[in-house]
């Protein structure tokens, strides 16, 4: 339970992966309307009143850094980005400079997430009876996972770098599921087909239009 029922939240935005299922395309640069995917997600999070926003880059870091230029956030480099997502989680946790109540572990390619979704998650964590919260939709787990700040040191001390995944699997009693009003926490862009489908949803909602994706 959060003191004064108002959670101070920070976020780690993971943007270091190689996006292998996208082929030669760096998905962080995919256009969502006129805005690259990574910048759109970072801009959305920057409007959520976070205490800190740390973006972890790795593969083609120069592209990610240029994409984020001018935004109020901190970018850190994971030199071991090929070791997988949990390596980036560790780098992000280590980069946090200010204690907070909860830490959101965010994925850069969840472009349907909006400020209202993050607000719902934040409000849920304010009354969460446990120290880990996972958003769900119709029984399916999604992202971002929220960790109480007290877990930071234990995760950083895990030499096997299994991070929050291991924490969740080994301590189910610490996990609360937060039911979401929509499927935004489940949708990411791992393939070209997923990108096309999401862009169709955004067009149908009048949120964005699709700029053709180069596949060559």
Nearest alpha-carbon partner for 86 in 161, 143, 176: 161
- Would 210 be classed as within a structural domain? no
Question: What CATH number has the domain bearing residue 139?
Answer: 3.90.550.10
Contact (Cβ atoms closer than 8 angstroms) between residue 7 and residue 33: no
- Would 214 be classed as within a structural domain? no
Residue 101 to residues 40, 125, 148, 149, Cα–Cα distance (Å)? 25, 9, 6, 6
DSSP letter string, 167-191: HHHH-GGGEEEEE-SSSGGG----S
Contacts of 198 (CB under 8 A, 6+ apart): 111, 112, 187, 189
- Would 211 be classed as within a structural domain? no
Q: What does pTM read for this prediction?
A: 0.90
**Tens digit of pLDDT at every position of the chain (216 positions):** 454 457 899 999 999 987 776 766 789 999 998 899 999 999 999 999 999 999 999 999 999 999 999 999 999 999 999 988 889 999 999 999 999 999 999 999 999 999 999 999 999 999 999 999 999 999 999 999 999 999 999 888 875 555 567 778 888 999 999 999 999 999 999 888 999 999 999 998 876 554 444 433
- Would 188 be classed as within a structural domain? yes
- Would 212 be classed as within a structural domain? no
- Would 103 be classed as within a structural domain? yes
By DSSP bridging, strand 74-77 and strand 53-57 are parallel
Q: What is residue 151's three-state secondary structure?
A: helix
- Would 216 be classed as within a structural domain? no
- Would 169 be classed as within a structural domain? yes
């Amino acid at each position: 339970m959060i003191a004064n029922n108002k959670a101070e939240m920070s976020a780690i935005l993971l943007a270091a992966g190689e996006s292998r299922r996208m082929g030669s395309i760096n998905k962080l640069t995919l256009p969502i309307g006129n805005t690259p995917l990574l910048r759109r997600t970072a801009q959305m999070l920057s409007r959520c009143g976070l205490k800190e926003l740390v973006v972890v880059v790795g593969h083609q870091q120069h592209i990610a850094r240029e994409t984020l230029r001018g935004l109020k956030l901190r970018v850190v480099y994971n030199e071991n980005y090929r070791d997988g997502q949990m390596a980036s989680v560790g780098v992000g946790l280590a980069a946090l400079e200010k204690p907070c109540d909860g830490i959101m572990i965010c994925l850069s390619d969840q472009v349907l997430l909006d400020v209202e979704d993050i607000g719902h998650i934040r409000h849920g964590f304010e009354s969460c009876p446990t120290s880990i919260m996972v958003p769900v939709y119709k029984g399916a787990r999604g992202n971002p996972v929220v960790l109480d700040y007290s877990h930071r040191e234990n995760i950083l001390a895990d030499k096997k770098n299994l991070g929050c995944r291991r924490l969740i699997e080994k301590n189910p009693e610490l996990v609360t599921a937060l039911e979401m009003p929509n499927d935004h926490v489940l949708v990411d862009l791992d393939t070209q087909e997923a990108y096309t489908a999401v862009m169709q949803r955004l067009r149908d909602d009048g949120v964005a239009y699709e700029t053709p994706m180069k596949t060559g």
